[in-house]
Amino acid sequence: MKIISILFAFLMILSHFSMNAQQTWSLKMCLDTAYKKNIAVNQAQLSSRVNKIAFEQSKSAVLPTLNFNDVQSLNAGYSLDPFTYQYTTQKISINNASLNSNVTLFNGHVLLYTIKQNKLIYEAGLLDIEKVKNDILLYVLAGYMQVLMDYEAVSVAQAQIDVTNTQVEQTKIFVKFGKLVQLNLFQIESQLATDKLTKINAVNQLQLDKLILLQLMEIPVLNDFDIERIELKSLLPFLPPSSEEINEVSLGFLPQIKSASLKIKVAQSRVKVSQSAGLPKLVLGGTLKTGYSSVRIDDLSSQLKNNFSQLLSLTLSVPIFNNFIAKSNVATARINVLMVSLDEQQTKNDLRKSIETVYTNQISSGKKLIALGEQMELEQRTYSDMEKKYSVGILSTTDFLIEKNNYNRVSMSLIQAKYDYLLRTKLVDFYLGKPLSLMTDK
């Protein structure tokens, strides 16, 4: 028992550490979770299941029907025996059993057009699911990259704190030996407080953006939530294909474009269904029936055999006048084709506008990244030179802090520019149908 208790305690400890171990989320894990938990995705998937059922049922509608009926009745008083065709005042127990089957031979191809229509609806629904997933992908990608940028901003802020701490200690020495006055120490200590506030703001922004990413995944707050980091290599802005070329590529594979095209075909099928509803309908039917009566002297098996009959029918229904319902349905269906065609054009217009925006943003962010890169090179040289001068006491604290703040500002701006450009590049890649990757090699 003691060994069992020890093993149990050991397993509990392992379980505790396992439950509290911090999980690092990759971009793929974030996307998979968002797809699984997103309400819109789940609703679209349920609608797709309903569409599939309707499609399968429409295929089954061409099959014959088969139904068995059995009616037991008790007649009292003056009544007609259905098998002897004689009136009697006796109580009669009657049973009628029948097996009926019907199959539609022709109904103006309504069944065939309905099958085609429901198949197209089902296929369009699958594409709509992919559209919702693509929207989620873009949101999660942007949220994930924002958190990555925040981490780098925190690191840069901490590096500035470390440098300023060193400068504070150096300034204390200068003040001690009379090389600088006390005011210089107050100034550099004030800068240290500013740097610490910058880090606090960066950490707060990191926590807020983590929360936004978790909300995109429909997950409650996780205090230990963390993501996989990537190290950005040097980004060399490049000129993407023109927006017209990007648009031409995206028209060939994006699900919302294919879905809009299928929905036009659905509307056209509805026109054919409405037109076919006004054509003649031919149905083949068959019935097997038998029964028995309690007033007959024959035994049950003899009655069932003697009363057995067969019926074969061919029913032709020709619509002559139906209050113009068929005509109205056809007219409505044709208008619906025009409306769905406009929906398709609107979808294409929205896509073109999105691509034009993404293209323009990448060009602009690339130019900004190049300009900030050049500015950063100058700031690094200037800051390094002024830091050396300050370290030997030949530069005023005021002049040094002005340059230090310029350097910090450009550093933070460059971080934002790098991630902004990377995101814009990935959006262009998305519309070009390239696999999603956060790698920065080009």
Token pair, residue 415, equals: 């971080």
- In degrees and rounded to multiples of 5, residue 104 shows phi and psi of -80, 120
CA distance 358 to 49: 35
Inform me whether the pLDDT recorded for 273 exceeds 70: yes
Provide, rounded to the nearest whole percent, the portion of the chain with pLDDT above 90. Answer: 69
Amino acid in position 192:
L
**Could you tell me which residue, 108 or 413, shows the higher pLDDT?**
413
State the Cα torsion 30-35-38-43 to the nearest 10°.
180
Token pair, residue 81, equals: 């025996």
Q: Are 69 and 258 in contact (CB under 8 A)?
A: no
Inform me whether the pLDDT recorded for 6 exceeds 80: no
Inform me whether the pLDDT recorded for 333 exceeds 90: yes
Judged by phi (left if over 0) then psi (alpha if -120 to 50, else beta), residue 393 lies in left
**Tokens 């069992």, located at residue:** 4
- Least Cα distance to 118 among 78, 69, 59 occurs for 59
Which superfamily does CATH assign the domain made up of 23-63+110-279+323-431 to?
A: Outer membrane efflux proteins (OEP) (1.20.1600.10)
Q: Are 314 and 282 in contact (CB under 8 A)?
A: yes
**Could you tell me which residue, 314 or 396, shows the higher pLDDT?**
314
- Least Cα distance to 262 among 115, 125, 132 occurs for 125
Dihedral of alpha carbons 320, 325, 328, 334, sign: negative
Amino acid in position 251:
L
pLDDT score at 83 = 66
Inform me whether the pLDDT recorded for 8 exceeds 70: no
Q: Strand 87-88 relative to strand 92-106: parallel, antiparallel, unpaired?
A: unpaired
Q: What average pLDDT does this structure show over 73-100?
A: 78
pLDDT level of residue 13 (50, 70, 90 thresholds): very low
pLDDT score at 227 = 94
Could you tell me the pTM of the whole model?
A: 0.83
Per DSSP, 253 falls in state T
Token pair, residue 230, equals: 């990537």
Q: What average pLDDT does this structure show over 51-61?
A: 95
Q: CA 304, 307, 308: angle at the middle one, nearest 5?
A: 80
Amino acid in position 189:
E
> Among 138-147, 224-233, 254-263, 352-361, where is mean pLDDT lowest?
224-233
CA distance 401 to 190: 10
Inform me whether the pLDDT recorded for 264 exceeds 50: yes
Q: Taking the CA atoms of the chain, what radius of gyration do you get in angstroms? A: 40
pLDDT score at 22 = 60
pLDDT level of residue 9 (50, 70, 90 thresholds): very low
Inform me whether the pLDDT recorded for 57 exceeds 60: yes
* Length of the chain (residues): 442
Kindly list the domain boundaries of the chain, sorted by start residue. 23-63+110-279+323-431, 71-106+282-318
Count of beta carbons in the 10 Å neighbourhood of residue 49: 11
pLDDT score at 438 = 66
Inform me whether the pLDDT recorded for 236 exceeds 80: no
**Tokens 């550093």, located at residue:** 411
Token pair, residue 243, equals: 């927006």
Q: How far apart are the first and last CA of the chain?
A: 64
Per DSSP, 434 falls in state P
Per residue in 112-159, pLDDT (tens digit) is 999 999 999 999 999 999 999 999 999 999 999 999 999 999 999 999
